Chains A and B, each alone.
Chain A
Amino acid sequence: MNQRAMRYATVGLKPLLLLSLLWGGCSSSSVENYPDRPISIICPWSVGGATDRTSRQLAVFLEQELGVPVNVINATGGRGVTGHSRGLKARPDGYTLAIITGELNMLHWQDLTSLTHQDAIPIMSLVDGAAAVFVKKDSPFQSMQELQDFVKENPGKLTATGTASGGIWHLALAGWLDFSGLNADDIKWIPMNGAGPSLQELASGGVDLVCCSLPEAKTLYESGQVRCLGVMAEESLAEFQDVPTFRSQGMDWSISGWNGLALPVGTPPPIVDKISKVVKKITSGETTLQGKTFPELMQAAGLSTKYRANDEYAQFLKTNDKTLGKLLTSDAFSQMSSRGTGPLVFPGLLAVAICVILGCLGVQKKVHALAPDVSKDTVTKQGVVNTVLILLGIVAYLLFAEELGFILTAGAILFLLLWKLGTRWWMSALITLLFIPGIYTLFAQLLRVPLPQGVLGW
Chain B
Amino acid sequence: MDPTFVTALQNIVSPEVLLVIFLSAVYGLFVGSIPGLTATMAVALLIPLTFYLDNLSAIAAIVTLEACSIFAGDIPTTLVRIPGTPSSAAYTDDAYSLTQRGLHETSLGVSLVFSVAGGLFGALVLILAAPQLAKIAFHFTTYEYFWLYVLGLSCAAIVSTGSRLKGALALMIGLMFSTVGLSEVHSVPRFTFGFDELFTGINFIPAMIGLFGLSEVFRNCLTSKTDEESGKLTSAVISDDDKSWFKHLKPVFGGVLPHLWKRKFSWFRSSCIGSTIGMIPGAGADIAAWISYAVSKKSSKTPEEYGKGSLDAVGDATSANNSALAGAWIPALVLGIPGDSVTAIVIGVLLMKNITPGPEIFNNADQLVLVHGIYLTFIIANLLLIPLGFLAIRSGSQLVRVPRRILMPLILMFCVVGSYSINGSYFDVWVMLGMGIIGFVLEVFAIPLGPVVLGIILGGQLEQTFVQNLTKDDSLLSFFNRPISAGLGIFCIALWLVPVFMPLLRKKWQSAN
Contacts and interface: CB of A to CB of B under 8 A. Distances in A.
Interface of A: 40, 46-48, 52-53, 56-57, 59-60, 63, 70-79, 81-82, 85-86, 110, 112-113, 159, 164-166, 188-193, 196-197, 199-201, 203-207, 218-220, 222-223, 225, 289-290, 297, 300-302, 337, 340-344, 346-347, 350-351, 353-354, 357-358, 360-361, 364, 366-374, 377-380, 382-384, 386-387, 389-391, 393-395, 397-398, 401-402, 410, 414, 417-418, 421-423, 431, 435, 439, 442-443, 447-451
Given A223-B336, A397-B429, 14 more contacts: A47-B341, A48-B338, A60-B48, A73-B424, A78-B200, A81-B196, A207-B472, A219-B336, A223-B360, A368-B445, A383-B221, A389-B221, A421-B409, A443-B421
A223 B412 contact: no
Contact of A165 (B48, B185, B199, B359): B185
A159 B191 CA distance: 30
Contact of A196 (B221, B344, B413, B446): B344
Given A219-B357, A382-B224, A398 B182 contact: no
Chain B CB within 10 A, most for which of A207, A344, A387: A387
A242 B230 CA distance: 70
Contact of B467 (A86, A191, A387): A191
A350 B178 CA distance: 11
B187 A379 contact: no
B357 to A, nearest CB: 6
A398 B430 contact: yes
A449 B169 contact: no
Nearest to B173: A354
A418 B409 contact: yes
Nearest to B461: A193
B139 interface: yes
A283 B420 CA distance: 33
A435 B414 CA distance: 11
Interface string B120-131: 000000000000
Interface in B114-164: 138-143, 163
Interface in B206-222: 217-219, 221-222
Interface in B383-427: 405-406, 408-410, 412-414, 416-417, 420-421, 423-426
Nearest to A205: B141
A293 B424 CA distance: 30
Contact of A77 (B34, B45, B201, B218): B201
Contacts of B223: 374, 377-380, 383
A222 B169 CA distance: 48
Nearest to B203: A77
Nearest to B432: A394
A343 B471 contact: no
Contacts of B16: none
A347 B181 contact: no
Interface in B155-202: 163, 165-166, 168-169, 172-173, 175-176, 179, 181-191, 196-197, 199-201
B468 A192 contact: yes
6 contacts: A60-B48, A219-B336, A297-B352, A347-B191, A374-B223, A449-B424
A418 B420 CA distance: 22
A46 B344 CA distance: 9
Contacts of A112: 182, 187, 189
Interface string B29-68: 0010010010010001101100110000000000000000
Given A191-B464, A340-B467, A451-B420, A353 B443 contact: no
Q: How large is the interface on B (under 10, 10 to 19, 20 to 34, 35 or more residues)?
A: 35 or more
Contacts of B464: 191-193
B28 to A, nearest CB: 12
A398 B219 CA distance: 22
B424 A450 contact: yes
A444 to B, nearest CB: 9
B281 interface: yes
A337 B424 contact: no
Given A76-B200, A350-B179, A371-B446, A384 B222 contact: yes
A52 B347 CA distance: 12
A390 B143 CA distance: 46
Nearest to A40: B424
A340 B425 CA distance: 34
Given A397-B429, A449-B421, A386 B224 contact: yes
Interface in B232-256: none
A367 B445 contact: yes
B157 to A, nearest CB: 10
Find the residue from A53, A77, A364, A384 having the highest chain B CB count within 10 A. A77
Among B222, B351, B468, residue most surrounded by chain A Cβ atoms (within 10 Å): B222
B358 interface: yes
A189 to B, nearest CB: 8
Contacts of B175: 350
**What 8 A-B pairs come out closest when comparing CB atoms?**
A206-B141, A219-B336, A78-B199, A77-B200, A48-B344, A377-B223, A78-B182, A449-B421
A75 B200 contact: yes
A304 to B, nearest CB: 14
B412 A417 contact: yes
A204 B138 contact: yes
A195 B406 CA distance: 49
Contacts of A447: 31, 37, 45, 421
A344 B190 contact: yes
Q: Which of A73, A76, A390 has the most CB of B within 10 A?
A: A390
Nearest to A354: B172
B411 to A, nearest CB: 10
A383 B471 contact: no
Contacts of B40: 47
B463 interface: yes
Given A78-B199, A82-B200, A346-B463, A423 B344 contact: no
B348 interface: yes
A364 B446 CA distance: 14
B444 A370 contact: yes
Given A81-B199, A302-B351, A414 B190 contact: no
Contact of A379 (B44, B189, B222, B424): B222
A417 B220 CA distance: 14
A442 B31 CA distance: 10
Contacts of B185: 164-165, 191
A448 B41 CA distance: 11
A411 to B, nearest CB: 10
Contacts of A113: 196
A63 B345 contact: no
Nearest to B140: A204
Given A82-B200, A219-B356, A383 B222 contact: yes
A357 B166 CA distance: 8
A168 to B, nearest CB: 13
A52 B140 CA distance: 26
B470 A421 contact: no
Nearest to A77: B200
B282 to A, nearest CB: 7
Contacts of B430: 398
Given A219-B358, A222-B358, A343 B169 contact: no
A188 B357 CA distance: 31
Contacts of B47: 56, 72
A347 B460 CA distance: 11
B345 to A, nearest CB: 5
Contacts of B225: 377
Contacts of B219: 373-374
Contacts of B405: 418, 421-423
A340 B349 CA distance: 38
B142 A206 contact: yes
B224 A347 contact: no
B224 A364 contact: no
Given A40-B424, A47-B341, A78-B181, A337 B416 contact: no
B433 interface: yes
Nearest to A298: B352
A126 B420 CA distance: 30
